[in-house]
Structure formats: C-alpha cells, structure tokens
Amino acid sequence: MSSEERKYVVKVGDKEIEITTEVLEILNEYIHTAMPLEKLAEKLGLESWEEAYEFIKKVPAWIMWTPPTLWEHRKKWMTK
C-alpha cells in the first residue's frame, strides 16, 4: 500500500470499520435486498442493530452505491 493511498474508516461507538471491497459487498447486499439491520450488524461484527443503523447513517451515499468491483479504482481516482 502506498503512503498516498486513502483508507476510508467509519467509527461506530468504539469500533472502526474500514470500507473495503468485502464491506462494500455486504452494503451492496443490504441496499438491494430486504436484509434486516440485525443481519447487517452480524455480518459487520457489530453488537446490535442500533450500531448497524449508526454505521449506515455515517457511510456517505457515494460510497454506499459504489459497486464493490470499482472500489479500488475509485479510491485511486480520489487521491489524484
């Protein structure tokens, strides 16, 4: 990883969740299905649906709707 590469991290309580391709795959499933917040919390390793809700509120929409396959490309584009 280059020193210029950005990491996108969302803080929920005392946890920090880095936005990775894997996390975007979970978010993609969440926004395109009827996944309950309890299941989202489980998949992200959060304690409760309340933490999952806080996470969803803090993730910028442009990240939420980025296809997981384009994430690495978009991060590089953003650093230019």
**Interatomic CA distance for residues 28 and 76, integer angstroms:** 20
**Interatomic CA distance for residues 73 and 15, integer angstroms:** 26
Q: What is the pLDDT of residues 14-67, one digit of tens each?
A: 999 999 999 999 999 999 999 999 999 999 999 999 999 999 999 999 999 999
Query: Distance between terminal CA atoms of the chain?
Result: 15
Predicted local distance difference test score (pLDDT) of residue 74: 82
3-state SS string over the chain?
CCCCCCCCEEEECCEEEECCHHHHHHHHHHHHCCCCHHHHHHHHCCCCHHHHHHHHHHCCHHHHCCCHHHHHHHHHHHHC
At 73, is the pLDDT very low, low, confident or very high (cuts 50, 70, 90)? confident
